[in-house]
Amino acid sequence: MAEMNQMISRSRNDGLSHKYPESSTVHSSIQLRRSISFSLSCFPAEVIDLIVSYLDTESILPFCHTIRHLLPLSETIFKVGRAFGVPIDEIWPAFNFPMSKPPPLIAGQEDDDEEEAEEFIPQPIEIPVEHIDAVKSLIVYLNRYGGSAHIKPTTPEYLSNIIPLAPRRVSLSLSLISTGPTPPLTTQQTISLLEKLSIFENVHITRFTITEHDPSLLPHLARALTQFARVERFRCFGRLAPTLIPVLPKINGFTSFKLFKVDDFPVNVLKECEDLERLSLVVARSFSVEFVRDLIGVLSACRKLRWVMIPNWYEGANADEVERALEAIGWNLERDVYNFVFHKDGAP
């Protein structure tokens, strides 16, 4: 009797599969999901937590839906996305604190209006009270699973408001020059901003932009540059103060350097910047032969360096000489009206 029931059951399933093949696929998919969910539920919570810490934007929600106790995490991601109108890749595994958005273009707007929209510079916005609980819940999960947040602080006051909501690990785009409608920071505001950043356990600076500053600020800048966990891209609009030059080799994760006024800059110091990958020297009255030779020495010393741009005017040397010197160390030269670009094969 039992065998007959099994045969009938198989026959019904086979008939259903033959008549409605898609139902078989759905049935198999449901069974597979249940099987995966059951298998994962057998793992200790510590193992599940470890798996979550490695999940990317595309994997996090499907995984949460296979583990019952992770459903609140998927609900939190959904709430934050709906609150700020942002996709998952701006929430997990790194939450981008919300920025202002350009007003939508209306049909019939003039070309001038379109140009203004293109020039729009996003500014950080305060978290509305009604969304604070959702953000706090997200931050709890980010801390638990090793996530982070990206912040673009423009004032110490804004940073003060964000600190209670931010996770332990943060990345920042830090600009100490005026952008958009934001007025430039005073020296005291800049010092306050740098001091507040020391609260975080792990500060990763994706871009740090400065200009020529009040001398009283320089010790604070030097200390901050060496204390951050990483400073990937460092840009200086103007001359780099002599106080900051010996700091360059001490910056962690220093991969890109852009200097706008190059005169009197001792380029040899860059030989000690082991992680440097890209170098851009923007404005100079002229480059001496010695400077160009020193720069080629930097190319030889910095093993990770793959791309360099300098203005194409200098004294006492010509492009052919430079090109031969570069070829001798495995570099290429490209030139246009304004710049020389040195690069290794395959470098963008």
Q: For the ranges 22-26, 199-203, 307-311, which has the lowest average pLDDT?
A: 22-26
Split at pLDDT 50, 70, 90, the class of 325 is confident
pLDDT number for residue 157: 87
Residue 117 lies in a domain: no
Q: What is the mean pLDDT of residues 188-195?
A: 89
Residue 341 lies in a domain: no
The residue that leads in pLDDT, 84 or 179, is 84
Does pLDDT of 8 surpass 50?
no
Q: Provide the pairing of β-strand 256-261 with 278-283.
A: parallel
Residue 86 lies in a domain: no
Instruction: Give the sign of the dihedral formed by CA 79, CA 84, CA 86, CA 91.
Output: negative
Structure tokens given for 138: 């997200």
pLDDT number for residue 4: 36
Q: Cα angle at 277 between 274 and 278, to 5 degrees?
A: 130
Q: What is the pLDDT of residues 228-273, one digit of tens each?
A: 999 999 999 889 999 999 999 999 999 999 999 887 899 999 999 9
Say how many domains are in the chain: 1
pLDDT number for residue 74: 96
Residue 307 lies in a domain: yes
Residue 11 lies in a domain: no
Residue environment code for 55-87, b if the CB has 16+ CB neighbours within 10 A, otherwise e: beeeebbebbebbeebeebbebbebbbebbebe
pLDDT number for residue 347: 62
Residue 207 lies in a domain: yes
Q: Cα angle at 272 between 174 and 230, to 5 degrees?
A: 30
pLDDT number for residue 201: 76
- The answer to whether the CB of 93 falls within 8 A of the CB of 74 is no
Does pLDDT of 12 surpass 80?
no
Biggest CA pair distance of the chain: 101
Written as one letter, the residue type at 308 is V
Give the contacts of 176 (CB within 8 A, at least 6 positions apart): 185, 190, 209, 210, 211, 213
- Residue in the structure block whose two tokens are 């995984």: 63
User: How far apart are the C-alpha atoms of 71 and 61, rounded to whole Å?
Assistant: 9
Helix axes 2-19, 21-41, angle to 10 degrees: 120
DSSP code of residue 120? -
Structure tokens given for 269: 């110091």
Residue 128 to residues 77, 86, 134, 171, 232, Cα–Cα distance (Å): 17, 15, 11, 22, 31
Highest mean pLDDT of the ranges 71-85, 104-118, 181-195, 289-303: 71-85
CATH of the domain at 189: 3.80.10.10
Could you give the dihedral angle defined by the CA atoms of residues 262, 267, 272 and 277, in that order, rounded to the nearest 10 degrees?
Answer: 60
- The answer to whether the CB of 165 falls within 8 A of the CB of 136 is yes
Residue 322 lies in a domain: no
The residue that leads in pLDDT, 46 or 29, is 46
Containing domain of residue 310, as a range? 92-99+127-315
Q: What is the mean pLDDT of residues 162-189?
A: 81
User: How far apart are the C-alpha atoms of 291 and 225, rounded to whole Å?
Assistant: 26
Residue 271 lies in a domain: yes
